[in-house]
Amino acid sequence: MVVTTARTRTRPPAGRGGRFRALVREARSWPTILMIGLCLLAGIPLTIALTPDQELRILGQHISVGARTPDLSLEGPARLVQIGNTELDIPRLQVVGPLRPQLEMGPVQRNDDAARVLNPDTTAEATAQAVDQLRTGFVNWYLLATLGVVGTALAAAALVGCARVLGILRREKASEHVTVADVWHRCSGTIGRMSLLAVTVSLVAWGVCGALAYTGTMRGLAQVSSLSDLVGSARVTPAPVGPPVFGYAGAVIGDSRAARVGGPPVAGPEGDDVACERSADSLAAELGTMIPGRVRNLACPSATVAQGLRGPQQRGNVQVPAQVALLKQMQDLKFVVVAVGPNDVGWSDLIKYCYGVETCDDNLTRGEFDYRMAAFDRDYAALLEDLAALPSKPRVVVMTSYDAFPRDTDPACPDARGPSYAVGLTQDKIDLLTDRNDQLNAVLRAGAEKYGFAVADPGLTLLCSPGTDGLGPDLQGLTDPFAFHPTAVGSLRLAATVARVVGPLDD
Q: Per residue, what are the HEC states of 172-213? A: CCCCCCCCHHHHHHHHHHHHHHHHHHHHHHHHHHHHHHHHHH
The winner for highest mean pLDDT among 29-38, 219-228, 253-262 is 253-262
Task: Write down the domain spans for the chain.
Answer: 2-231, 248-501
- The answer, yes or no, to whether residue 19 has pLDDT greater than 50, is yes
C-alpha closest to that of 489 among 504, 506, 469, 467? 469
Q: Which residues contact 178 (CB under 8 A, 6 or more apart)?
A: 7, 169, 172
Query: pLDDT value at position 122?
Result: 72
Comparison of pLDDT for 327 and 104, the residue scoring more? 327
Query: pLDDT value at position 343?
Result: 94
Q: What is the edge-to-edge ordering of all strands in the sheet holding 248-254?
A: 294-297, 248-254, 335-339, 395-399, 454-456
Average pLDDT, whole number, for the chain?
A: 85
Which of 172-176, 223-227, 252-256 is the least confident region?
223-227
Question: How far is the C-alpha of 43 from the C-alpha of 500, rounded, in Å?
Answer: 69
Asked if 65 contacts 100 with a C-beta cutoff of 8 angstroms, the reply is: no
Which of 27-36, 184-193, 304-313 is the least confident region?
184-193
Quote the distance between the C-alpha of residue 95 and its chain's center: 23
The winner for highest mean pLDDT among 7-21, 127-141, 387-401, 465-479 is 387-401
Question: How far is the C-alpha of 313 from the C-alpha of 143, rounded, in Å?
Answer: 52
- The answer, yes or no, to whether residue 186 has pLDDT greater than 70, is no
- The answer, yes or no, to whether residue 233 has pLDDT greater than 50, is yes
- The answer, yes or no, to whether residue 332 has pLDDT greater than 60, is yes
What percent of the chain is predicted at pLDDT more than 70?
86
Q: Which residues contact 114 (CB under 8 A, 6 or more apart)?
A: 59, 60, 61, 108
Question: How far is the C-alpha of 310 from the C-alpha of 150, rounded, in Å?
Answer: 54
Can you give the pTM of this predicted structure? 0.60
Query: pLDDT value at position 3?
Result: 37
- The answer, yes or no, to whether residue 68 has pLDDT greater than 70, is yes
Measure the N-to-C terminal CA separation of the chain; round to a whole number of Å: 118
Comparison of pLDDT for 123 and 237, the residue scoring more? 237
Asked if 109 contacts 31 with a C-beta cutoff of 8 angstroms, the reply is: no
DSSP state of 245: B
Asked if 415 contacts 477 with a C-beta cutoff of 8 angstroms, the reply is: yes
Which of 42-56, 191-205, 217-231, 232-246 is the least confident region?
217-231
Give the model's confidence band at 137: pLDDT under 50 very low, under 70 low, under 90 confident, else very high. confident
- The answer, yes or no, to whether residue 2 has pLDDT greater than 50, is no
Q: What's the rounded mean pLDDT across residues 186-202?
A: 83
What percent of the chain is predicted at pLDDT more than 90?
47
Question: How far is the C-alpha of 270 from the C-alpha of 89, rounded, in Å?
Answer: 46
Cα–Cα distances in Å, from 286 out to 132, 149, 199, 291, 474?
54, 71, 79, 9, 15
Query: pLDDT value at position 439?
Result: 93
- The answer, yes or no, to whether residue 50 has pLDDT greater than 90, is yes
Give the model's confidence band at 421: pLDDT under 50 very low, under 70 low, under 90 confident, else very high. confident
Which of 96-105, 202-211, 281-290, 327-336 is the least confident region?
96-105
Query: pLDDT value at position 403?
Result: 93
Peptide bond preceding 240: is omega within 30 degrees of 0, i.e. cis? Answer: no
Asked if 109 contacts 370 with a C-beta cutoff of 8 angstroms, the reply is: yes
CATH topology of domain 248-501: Rossmann fold (3.40.50)
Query: pLDDT value at position 492?
Result: 94
Query: pLDDT value at position 166?
Result: 78
Give the model's confidence band at 72: pLDDT under 50 very low, under 70 low, under 90 confident, else very high. confident
Torsions phi, psi for 421 (to 5 deg): -85, -5
Question: How far is the C-alpha of 336 from the C-alpha of 456, rounded, in Å?
Answer: 12
Give the model's confidence band at 9: pLDDT under 50 very low, under 70 low, under 90 confident, else very high. very low
- The answer, yes or no, to whether residue 5 has pLDDT greater than 60, is no
Q: Please tell me the number of Cα atoms within 13 Å of 457 on its side-chain side.
A: 7
C-alpha closest to that of 290 among 249, 351, 260? 249
